[in-house]
Amino acid sequence: MELGLHEILSMPRRVFLNEQKEIKQKTTGERIRLFMEELGPTFVKLGQFASTRPDVLPKDIIIELEKLQSNVGPFPSDEAKKILEEELEAPVEKMFSEFQEKPVAAASIGQVHYAVLQTGEPVAVKIQRPNIEENVKTDLEILRDIAGIAEKRLEMAARYNIVEIIEEFARSLKTELNYLNEGRNSEKIKEQFSNNSHIHVPEVYWDYTTAHVLTAEFITGTKLDDVQKLEMKGHDPGLVAEHVVKAMFHQIFIEGFFHGDPHPGNIMVLLGDRTVFIDFGSVGQLTSEMKDSLSMFVIALRRQHTEGLIKAIDRMGMIPEDVNINELNRDVENLRDKYYDIPLSHISLGDAINELFTVAYKHQIRIPADLTLLGKALLTMEGMVERMDPDLSIIKMAEPFGKQLLKERYQPKRIAENLLNELFEYRELLKDFPKNIQDVKSVIKKGKVRVEISVPKLEESLKKMDRISNRLAFSIVLLAFSIIMTGLIIGSAIIRQTSPIWNIPVIELGFIVAAGMFIWILYAIFRSGRF
């Protein structure tokens, strides 16, 4: 509301909201989805990206944003052919013996056409939308401005680092705009399953591939979400589901490079219960430390071990110095208690990981984007597998992979390699140590050392010190005044003795001087406002 976007989402006269009656019947999530579809491909991609962040958006809005995976209209085939010929520098008829003008699929960045190479291979030709890069660049600038305003005005936006999230989205989108990256991702995952006869990844035809055109093997199979059709064609849904889960866990725990969007449209089944993964525009990559942390989390959750869960959070993200450890422990224990004594077949690994991320973000613990993508991928996979085989336990299947990863972590060979790497790092550190000391010495000699001391609530502390010193001064002056008055009283008794000096009105003058000093110091203290 503070950004004024609610007015845009509720305006009845917008192009994408033609009838006021229909608008009032739509939920907030539906309005946001329609709004993003109207704004174009960049915002459609933003919606898809936002659907992977359950720590930032409520569940009902995420459900609507997930519908942005499809429902994108195609662009004219004439433009598609023009882009294709410009990119491959040859007429369509010369490259393909057949090219279907009507696309078989359309997405926010590009669309896919069926074609046949002159050599006879059926292929899927993905062609990027015209002027998409220029439009994306403009839209990203707008998003950065909106995010900057949001962080200044909204506490939630600042807490979740919306500007940084938009930058993550920008990097992801720019990578996805280059189809060469998608081709390399496809080949990398294909290599992962080179010895697995149950998994197939389409071949990329590099002679017909550029940054804006991707040509790959055309696959015709049965979608995973059509269980009845799978059974009609003689497939075993439970066995296929097991293959999918094992393939994803192999990518995650063993390879550390996984399909980031394993929804039913990107996974098909061929004869012999072979599973095919397609569309590798979105992928996630886990470092060795991330994989270790994830395996620790799976095993700690399985064993209901609170300290293990805390260690997993600590290793996954960067805990800020001012975090409330007691409150963090309490939230993690609540998470553990939620899954305590529950059959593994009823535990959702994706839900558990996303709830862990919610706890992390509540305490402003920074989690790598690849891990949030992992949570989304696991949720998508679980929802799909549950329809195929409700009795299949995802977390039971994940535990052996986690244990295998931990065994590899503590293998003597790996320990020796890690120790050797650390020794090399210390060697370089010691090698540069004399030079670094010399540099510091030179800076000190030149008097360029700058020391900054940060004291929390410094101004408030100084004000308190002023009040204390002023009250102390007041007490001293009051004591001095009392001593002077006492002396004058005693002196008044002495002046009854005969002496020329006592003819002067000493008592009156002393009283006037002391009273003047007293009034002046009081005025100075009260004027400063720090009594």
pLDDT tens-digit map of 295-316: 777 677 666 676 777 777 777 7
Q: Is 78 a catalytic residue?
A: no
CA nearest neighbour of 146 among 124, 162, 135, 126: 162
**DSSP helix/strand/coil, 240:** helix
Residue position matching structure tokens 């056409």: 113
116 phi and psi angles, rounded to 5 deg: -130, 130
C-beta of residue 357 within 8 angstroms of C-beta of residue 321: no
Query: Which of these is catalytic: 55, 139, 261, 370?
Result: 261
**128: β partners:** 110
CA nearest neighbour of 345 among 401, 395, 294: 395
E-assigned strands of 310-378? none
C-beta of residue 224 within 8 angstroms of C-beta of residue 388: yes
Let me know the angle formed at the C-alpha of 102 by 100 and 103, rounded to the nearest 5 degrees: 95
pLDDT digits (tens, 9 = 90+) for 105-154: 888 788 999 999 999 999 999 999 998 888 889 999 998 998 889 888 87
pLDDT band at 192 (very low <50, low <70, confident <90, very high): very high
481 to 56, 149, 514: CA distances (angstroms): 66, 60, 6
pLDDT of residue 14: 47
Residues 482, 442: Cα–Cα separation, whole Å: 59
C-beta of residue 178 within 8 angstroms of C-beta of residue 211: yes
Who wins on pLDDT, 509 or 324?
A: 324
C-beta of residue 521 within 8 angstroms of C-beta of residue 477: yes
Residue 16, pLDDT > 50, answer no
Residues 103, 334: Cα–Cα separation, whole Å: 50
| CA contacts within 13 A on the Cβ side of 312 | 26
Would residue 131 be called left, alpha or beta, if left means φ above 0 and alpha means ψ between -120 and 50 degrees? left
CA nearest neighbour of 508 among 483, 489, 528: 489
**pTM for the structure as a whole:** 0.67
C-beta of residue 270 within 8 angstroms of C-beta of residue 276: yes
